[in-house]
Each structure stands twice: as structure tokens, then as C-alpha cells.
Amino acid sequence: MAFHFADRIKRAPASFLSELFAASNNPSIISFAGGLPSSALIDTEGIAQATRQVMEEDAHIALQYTTTDGYLPLREYIADRYRTRLGLPATAAEIQIVNGSQQCLDLFAKIFLNTGDHVGMERPGYLGAIEAFSLYEPIIDTVPLDDDGPDLAVFERFVKTRNAKFFYGIPNSQNPSGRTYSLEKRRAVADILRTSDTLFYEDDAFGELFFDAKPRMPVTKYLPDQSVISGSFSKIIAPGMRIGWIYAPEDILTPFNVVKQAADLHSNFFCQKILHRYLTTHDLDDHIRHITRVYGRKCRLMCDLLDDQLPQLSHTTPEGGMFLMAILPPGISSRRVFDEGVMQKVAVLPGMPFYVDGGGEETIRLNFSNPEDEMIKTGIERLANVIKGLIRQ
């Protein structure tokens, strides 16, 4: 029979991510297209140890239903880390556990967006956010993201004219661009928003991944009570557990909790317990220093290879995170680089899906966190061949 789906489905943008996973699962293709942290840097021994301890001491509780807000000691750990690491006055009551920070995007949109409401985001902007927000049928306005943060003139015009519910941004090592807001821009974004009712949704998936292992002050620091932060253990511990959180004023968490409960009752309790055990029996800062050293080396390797082999191409130079963005030489489209790349066994991510209002054909996103050094070397060689071949055509 024919199925009569809701309008939001008919309007949803077709997703690229499944195609990507397919390409990145083909072992003969070197993939820079995915968004995976390094599998080799997941501390499987430490997690196995924490898992054994939870199973020995607490299995009947860890495997049972629990409350929607999440495991209190884990929420206390997260709040404590905000206090000590960033000086934010966080309490466990302001932390709600979710299934990775992707679920924040869905639930936050669900509590704020009516059809036709305005929201803002960076251009280019995170694809997962575009997909989550679009299902609530808002009008998405974009603000160009420069090397040091949003274009402030456009941002101010957006804030003053759109009466938007929120602006969504990734100030630290943004996905897809790898760009980081300067301190000046962080303050300016807060100052401009303060004159409005528009919230700042600060996606901080990568804030712990600066190669110098030093924290940057979140925009929330300068805009308390008018912003939320989403965070995730996916990039610093393990994505397969699907544990992230939102740090938000309690008045926001009240309805957030209602929609979280309706969405799936609560997040995986077993993994919340394992994570908490792991975090309280291992040195997280030491683990993160190890990750950032490796990612910093991989990022420099990729940048150097690109500069050396493809001087016709420009690229961002990330201070952290897992991605950089490259601008292709004039006349070369990223779709052709993707198609030709797959033929030559190297996958890149065309930038178009990150441009919700069109454009981006000249951009590609490259992931440097997942492939090993040798893969980066061979993959960039292949990519250089692909692009040089297209230039010659």
C-alpha cells in the first residue's frame, strides 16, 4: 500500500551520511570522508576493566531501568569538570545525559521550534544539526564562518532582524571547517546576543581536543543564562556507547527531560555506569593529552602533504578536532573529486551538504583522526592524483 508520511519527511534533505558509511566501510578505500575518532586510541583495556567492575558489583542495577535525567554521579563528574577546567558554575542539576550529542540537537529543536521559526547556524554548518533541525521545519539562516569565527556584521543583522529561537555554533574546531572562534569573536557573539532573546547553542564536541591540550573559554562563559552547551564522550572515550550530555539552565532542562522521556525513557544505564567507573579510576587528562598529541601529528602530516603535493588547493589549519576543510582549485567540483576518488580508492566528503542554503561545491571535508599515518600518506597521494587529473581535463 502507499504510505502517507508527514510533511516533515517529504521536506527532509536526503542524507549523505549513510552513503559515507558505506564508502568508509569498504576496506580497499582510504576514507577521509567519515567522522570517526581513531579506533586505536580507544582505551579498550581500561574500559574492559571498568566493565568488569560494574558487572561484579552492580550488575542488577546497571541493567535495570533508571531515571530519565541520567546517572547522578556521572552528572556530578561532568559538572565538576566544567567547574575545575573552565570555571563555569555548573551543578549536576544542570546536566542531562543523552545518547551522544546528536540527541541534544533533536531534543533541543523539539522543545524550541515551531514550524517557521527562525534558527541560525554557521555557513558551512554541521550536517547532523541541519538534519535534526530540518525535521521541525524551521527557517534556517546562515552566518558565514570566517577563520576566526562568524562574520560579525552578518551575525548582528541576523540577531537584530530574525527574532530567532537560537543560534547554533561550534566555536571549537568546527565540523566541517576545523575553524576555532577567536576570544574576541566569542565575546562579541555574546555581546550581540545579549541584546536579544536568541539563545546560543554551543556544540562543544571538540573542546577537549585542542592539540595544545589547553581549554578555550566557551561563549557560555560570557553569556550565562542565555546559552546551553552540549558535550560528548564519543571523541574522548568511545562513540559506540552513545553517551553525551547537555549543560543548560534548569528551566530548559524541565521540558528537555519531558521530551527525552518520551523519546526513549533514558540513556543506556549500563554504559553510564561503565563510563563513570572508567572516569573515576583512570586519568582522563592524561588520556586526552595522548589523543591530542596523536591528532596534532596527524593533522600536521595531512596539512604538510597537501601543501607539498597540491599547492593549487587551499585549506584550513585546525588547532584541534578531527577535520580540516579544503578549497579546490577553480573549476574543480567536489562531487567529481568524490566520484573519481572512489574509483581511485580514496574517499573525501563533498562540502555541499554543509551549506543548507546552497553552495559549497568547491569545498571538501577531510578527516585526519581516523586514518593511520601511512593511510594519510597514501590517501593524500591518491587525492593529489585525482585532483591533478581533473585539472588536466
Binding positions for its own copies, 270-299, rule CB under 8 A: 270-271
The residues in 121-150 that bind its own copies, with binding defined as CB under 8 A, are: 128, 131-132, 134-136
Report the residue number, 209 or 384, with the smaller CB distance to its own copies: 209
Peptide bond into 218 cis (omega under 30): no
Asked if residue 329 has a cis previous peptide bond (ω within 30° of 0), the answer is no
Residue number with CB closer to its own copies (117 or 319): 117
- List the one residue out of 167, 205, 163 whose CA is nearest residue 186: 167
Under the binding rule (CB under 8 A), the answer on residue 230 touching its own copies is: no
Question: Which residues, at least 6 apart from 294, have a Cβ–Cβ distance to it below 8 Å?
Answer: 38, 41
User: Using the rule CB under 8 A, which residue among 11, 26, 59, 281 binds its own copies?
Assistant: 59
**369 in contact with its own copies (CB under 8 A):** no
Looking at residues 12 to 41 of the shown chain, list those that interact with its own copies (rule: CB under 8 A).
Answer: 12, 15, 17-18, 21, 25, 34-37, 39-40
Instruction: Pick from 83, 240, 280, 389 the residue near its own copies by CB under 8 A.
Output: 240
Other CB atoms within 10 Å distance of the CB of residue 381: 15
The nearer residue to its own copies, 193 or 380, going by C-beta atoms, is: 193
Binding range to its own copies, per CB under 8 A, among 82-90, 211-219, 260-268, 298-306: 260-268
- The three cell numbers of residue 359 are 553552495
CA distance between the termini of the chain:
48
Q: Which of 244, 240, 122, 226 is nearest to 130 (CA)?
A: 122
Instruction: State yes or no: residue 303 binds its own copies (CB under 8 A).
Output: no
Q: Does 258 bind its own copies (CB under 8 A)?
A: yes
**Position 165 contacts its own copies (CB under 8 A):** yes
Instruction: Convert 325-351 to b/e letters by CB count within 10 Å (16 or more is b).
Output: bbbbeeebebebbbebbbebebbbbbb
Question: Which residues sit opposite 121 in a β-bridge?
Answer: 142, 168
Site for its own copies in 64-83 (CB under 8 A): 64-68
Cβ-based nearer residue to its own copies, 100 or 176: 100
Residues making up the chain, counted from first to last: 393
- Which position among 30, 121, 219, 252 is part of the footprint of its own copies (CB under 8 A)? 252
Cell 551522544 belongs to residue: 100
For the CB of residue 329, give the shortest distance to its own copies in the complex, in Å.
32
The interface mask with its own copies, positions 310-349, x = CB under 8 A, is ----------------------------------------
The position carrying cell 528537555 is 256
Closest distance to its own copies from the beta carbon of 113 (Å): 6
Q: What span, in angstroms and rounded, lies between the C-alpha atoms of 192 and 174?
A: 21
Q: Tell me whether residue 129 or residue 387 sits nearer to its own copies (CB atom).
A: 129
Site size for its own copies (CB under 8 A): 87
Residues 6 or more apart whose Cβ sits within 8 Å of residue 227: 190, 193, 199, 200, 201, 202, 219, 220
